[in-house]
Amino acid sequence: MGALYFGDNLHVLREEIKDETIDLIYLDPPFNSKRDYNVFLKTPKGHESDAQITAFEDSWHWGEQAEREFSELLRQQNTDVAEMIQSLRRFLKESDMMAYLVMMANRLLELHRVLKPTGSLYLHCDPTASHYLKIVMDAIFGAENYANEIIWKRADTVKGNFGQGTKLFDKNTDTIFFYRKSENNTFNPQFKAYSKEYIDAFYKFIEPGTGRKYQLISMTGPGGAAKGNPYYEVMGVSRYWRYSKKKMEELIDKGLVIQTNPGAVPRRKQYLDEGKGVSIQTLWDDISALQASDAERLGYPTQKPLALLERIIEASSNKGDIVLDPFCGCGTAVHAAQKLGRDWIGIDITHLSISLIEKRMKDAFPGLEFPVHGTPKDLEGAQNLAERDKYQFQWWACSLVGAQPYQGKKKGADGGTDGIIFFQDDEQGAKKIIVSVKGGEHVNVSQIRDLKGTIEREKAAIGIFVTLNEPTEPMVKEAVTAGFYESPKGQVPKIQILSIEKLLNSQERPEYYDISSGSHNFKKAKKEGKKAKQEVLKGF
């Protein structure tokens, strides 16, 4: 079974993941691009909503946290890491890039610790910091354990500014660094189908009777006697061969050895239908980035295609192995791991990601159950989250009632709206529920009046007020004065006050009737077929 962790991956790794327990790590961390990445949520008509929210801010700055983590790096037993990070600081000073590298170095050290001796790590990045990240990786893993730099060609064309004065080439590639813990790493070679051009160029022969296409390949032994290859005569030609004389005779008896002309060096038939395909090399140009129209796309920024993660997971792990993604975003790596029969662990610092992954996995794998660690399970946990991070609390509270978060850290007032639920209870189309979340110490009747005004302004059917503290009597009375929404199944309160504690204990839930089964809200991941359903694997 898998497991999700909500929290800072540095703390989760140190407190929850034991030494040398992970078979494969894939991480697609922020690239320090100095951009904000927004999640586009779904409208009832299936379009991307204007009410997008900031999933994460990809900017780093030197401050107290960076200084603290830098000090931790100096105290590491790995002296190469301490010397490397000091050298980088002397060069980069207390810059944003240095803050980013300190953050990454601490986490990469922990990832190296939890990786098995047979394990591998794939770090997905772009040219913003890839040159510095390789220096960090060499210090932590050892330069001898660098395996490959994979170049992923995301697209053939990108939106460029040619004709508008640009003096740069368009960027359409990412870098994936492949490191291993030791030379004993798990690796399963991957292949892709032959192209028509390749088949036409190499498989030129057709076998009479069977119609099978084949090519002729060399049987001579490279390196000759020095490599232990036997020397003997075949069809009047003496050479060092890669096969023993007995094996050669077997191939001849099966009609697999061809001499095209008298005196020509004999060659062996290789059938097209027996070939594995073209071996995957370090330029990956056969998997495109997700487009807006792709059914797989969930609206999450930086979402990677499943095919990309499936290739990595199949290459560097086996069924039953544990795959870890410490920056799991919308969960593509854990989705691919589940689909391929691997165990998995996902970690993310935003509850938005955790709730998206929960829904994605349950949509794709109906009946799948897995623990989610770090999210509030009781009132005390909810109070703690509200004190630590207002926005994470709001996103978590919205998930309790099945609402899309609204705006989040986007600049400007949210107009009294923290979440939206779209529902349909007749044939007239979707309707809207406004969700307001309050996590502060004081809730009062004016907040209910504000919600009433918001649902009138937004032409919403219902308003839901989610509160960390118990509502006051005047608040309850004010909510009653809003009257009822006339549902085809009967009246429901137009203003509904729900407490966090009762939601957690399943004592309360929003009241409304929905014939769309929630399909107007979050985008739904495609259900995986029966072949992708996996048995429960080992725990942690």
Q: Tell me how far apart the terminal alpha carbons of the chain are, to the nearest angstrom.
A: 9
Question: Which residue do the tokens 């036409």 mark?
Answer: 200
228-237: long-range contacts (C-beta < 8 A, 24 or more apart)?
234/266, 235/259, 235/266, 236/262, 236/263, 237/263, 237/264, 237/265, 237/266
Tell me, what DSSP letter sits at residue 143? G
**Number of neighbouring beta carbons within 10 Å of residue 157:** 7
Question: Does residue 33 sit in helix, strand or coil?
Answer: coil
Mean residue pLDDT of the chain comes to 88
Collapsed DSSP state (helix, strand, coil) of residue 10: helix
Give percent of the chain with pLDDT exceeding 70: 88
Angle between helices 379-388 and 390-400 (to 10 degrees): 140
Q: At what angle do helices 64-74 and 79-92 cross, to 10 degrees?
A: 140
At residue 412 the predicted structure's pLDDT band, cuts being 50, 70 and 90, is very low
110-150 pLDDT tens trace: 999 999 999 999 999 999 899 999 999 999 999 999 999 99
**H or E stretch at 427:** none
Q: What is the mean pLDDT of residues 417-433?
A: 89
Delineate the domains of the chain, giving CATH numbers in brackets: 3-160+167-190+280-373 (3.40.50.150), 192-278 (no CATH), 385-504 (3.40.1350.10)
d(CA 157, CA 431): 39
Residues β-bridged to residue 237: 234
Tens of pLDDT, residues 254-277: 999 999 999 999 999 999 999 889
H or E element that contains 449: helix 445-457
Element (H, E) at 372: strand 372-373
Per-residue model confidence as pLDDT tens digits over 11-54:
999 999 999 999 999 999 987 655 554 554 444 554 444 444 45
DSSP structure string for 44-78: TTSSBPS--EEEEEE----SHHHHHHHHHHHT-S-
28 in Cβ contact with 329 (< 8 Å): yes
pLDDT band at 536 (very low <50, low <70, confident <90, very high): very low
- Separation between Cα atoms, residue 102 and residue 105, nearest integer Å: 5
Of 279, 340, 27, 323, which is closest to residue 175 (Cα–Cα)? 27
* Higher pLDDT among residues 233 and 426, named by residue: 233
pLDDT, tens digit (0-9, with 9 covering 90-100), for 375-406: 999 999 999 999 888 888 998 999 999 888 88
Show the tokens assigned to 143.
């330069």
Q: Is 304 left (phi over 0), alpha (psi -120 to 50) or beta?
A: beta
pLDDT at residue 533, rounded to an integer? 41
Closest CA to 453 of 470, 474, 475, 434: 434
**Residues counted in the chain:** 540
- How far apart, in whole angstroms, are the C-alpha atoms of residue 491 and residue 418? 25
Contacts of 457 (CB under 8 A, 6+ apart): 415
Distances (CA, A) of 508 to 409, 464, 500: 28, 12, 9
User: pLDDT category, 407, cuts 50, 70, 90?
Assistant: low
Kindly calculate the radius of gyration of the chain based on its CA atoms and give it in whole angstroms.
Answer: 29
pLDDT in tens, 146-190: 999 999 999 876 665 555 667 888 889 999 999 999 999 999 999
Q: What's the mean pLDDT in 284-302?
A: 87
Q: How far is CA 173 from the centre of its chain?
A: 18
Centroid of chain to Cα 389? 24
Q: Which pair of tokens denotes residue 501? A: 């504690």
What's the pLDDT at 298? 84
